Amino acid sequence: METGKRHIGLGQPSTSPWLVRGRGAVSNNSGRFEKLTRERADDGWLSDIPDASLKTEVQEEQAKHILTRNKSPDIPFDRSINPYRGCEHGCVYCFARPTHAYMGLSPGIDFETKLFAKPNAAELLKAELSKKGYEPKPIAMGTNTDPYQPIEKDRRITREILKVLYEHRHPVTILTKSRLVVRDMDILVPMAEMGLVRVSLSVTTLDRKLARALEPRASTPTRRLDAIKLLADAGVPTGMMFAPVIPALNDHEMETLLSAGAHAGAKYANYILLRLPLELGGLFEEWLGEHYPDRKVRVLHRLMEMRGGRVNDPRFKHRMKGKGLEADLMDQRFRNISRRLGLNLFKQDLDTTKFRRPVLAGGQFNLFDHTSAH
């Protein structure tokens, strides 16, 4: 059926055939590059039949490159690795959702059910690091999709990447919403001892009901705090990311969340205001209409006050924290609580001096370069 985009009014009962337990988006409209906009409609005949199309599908992608470069002044790294496209966590607010349109897929349900794995990621990384002109700087993981989303448990692509980084003494930062990160402490702890790694857990709310609706397949908030404690107790520099901050929905939790993170062992913290680029604006509005119809107008109006009258402001130096009186007050709250908790007092740069360039087949190996992770 070909239709225009559907607007969900305040307080209306759900008519979305995509509102399924364990999934975040409530629609699956075509991406912005498609000529036709397709939308599923439930005529009542299929209501009681389980929807097999919502099962997670994983397609292997033989990537040609694995390091992504950026020149954004908003972020403190110039290179990143994404082992996967799409993310099964299903976070409705994920600003990576619109990238699925480049694959001819929907940023909605498709983003969290049709995933792409890069099994040759570690091999490609070793080749990149071996290049003569390569200069080591921290590689960021978790900047687009989560490196520890559920399929990592079996695929282990992130773990293979970490093995390469450890073997060649290359620094890395990790951002995740998953407790699965503690699985790799056998690699992370020795890397931390050499000043090669920092890990941050993203925690959005301590309200389990809100968390399950916002990010249905991510680890629960308490398990993320547990991961912070386990990593910090093992000597891994660990922080917390309060992201996204959603006005009138979770912004009131800032002090409580940061206190919980600091108590668990986090030494640094940051926050990001909700971003709604491209298709994400409509997806989030639909989600509000389904889950929090009584707050929909308030959430969007307050967000617009911090985004120059729009729900999204893509400009550098504006997109992460917003502008205006309310945005300034939020930033002041963050700084005050961080100071009281002793967060962000000192963050040592990761060490790039220990880097050992890989030598590929046919090259001359260093006889003393024999340490590796197993």
142-151, 191-200, 354-363: range with lowest mean pLDDT: 354-363
- Output the pTM of the full model: 0.87
In terms of Cβ atoms closer than 10 Å to its own Cβ (0-12, 13-18, 19+), residue 155 is: buried
Mean pLDDT, the chain, rounded, equals 87
Q: What is the DSSP string of 226-259?
A: HHHHHHHHTT--EEEEEEEE-TTTTGGGHHHHHH
Collapsing DSSP to helix, strand or coil, 7 comes out as: coil
Query: Which residue has better confidence, 343 or 77?
Result: 343
In angstroms, the Cα distances linking 251 to 59, 302, 356 are 37, 11, 44
Beta-bridge partners for 141: 81, 174
* 264 CB-near residues (< 8 Å, 6+ apart): 225, 226, 228, 229, 232
Q: Which three-class secondary structure state does DSSP give residue 273?
A: strand
CA distance 151 to 246: 28
Q: In what order do the strands lie in the sheet with 57-60?
A: 57-60, 114-117, 84-85
pLDDT given at position 6: 34
Q: Which superfamily, per CATH, for 52-341? A: Aldolase class I (3.20.20.70)
Q: Is residue 193 predicted with pLDDT exceeding 90?
A: yes
Confidence of residue 370 (pLDDT cuts 50, 70, 90): very low
For tokens 């929807």, what's the residue?
Answer: 51
pLDDT at 263 over 70: yes
Residue 162 CB coordination number (10 Å): 24
Length of the chain: 374
Residue 143: predicted pLDDT: 87
pLDDT of residue 201: 98
Residue 359 and residue 9: Cα distance in Å, rounded?
Answer: 60
Residue 271 in 3-state DSSP? strand
Beta strands (DSSP E) in the chain are 57-60, 67-69, 79-81, 84-85, 114-117, 139-141, 172-176, 197-202, 238-245, 268-273
Amino acid at residue number 56: T
Work out the number of other CB atoms within 10 angstroms of the CB of residue 329.
11
Question: Is 36 within 8 Å of 30 (Cβ atoms)?
Answer: yes
The C-alpha atoms of residue 22 and residue 214 are separated, in whole angstroms, by 10
Model confidence at 303, in pLDDT bands (50, 70, 90)? very high
Q: Which residue has the higher pLDDT, 33 or 277?
A: 277
Share of the chain above pLDDT 70, in %: 84
Can you name the residues that pair with 201 across neighbouring β-strands? 176, 240
Task: Return the closest-CA partner of residue 111 out of 243, 241, 280, 314.
Answer: 280
Assess whether pLDDT exceeds 60 at residue 278. yes
Percentage of the residues of the chain whose pLDDT score is greater than 90: 72
- Characterize the bridge pairing of strands 57-60 and 238-245: unpaired
Q: Of the candidates 273, 278, 274, 270, which has an alpha carbon nearest to the alpha carbon of residue 288?
A: 274
Q: Which of 45, 55, 69 is nearest to 134 (CA)?
A: 69
Q: Which residue has better confidence, 247 or 51?
A: 247
Output b/e per residue, 45-60; b: 16+ Cβ within 10 A. eeeeeeeeebebebee
Confidence of residue 14 (pLDDT cuts 50, 70, 90): very low
Q: Record the tokens describing residue 176, joined without a space.
A: 């995740």
Domain assignments of the chain as residue spans, ordered by start: 52-341
Q: Higher-confidence residue: 233 or 37?
A: 233
- pLDDT category at 363 given cuts 50, 70, 90 is low
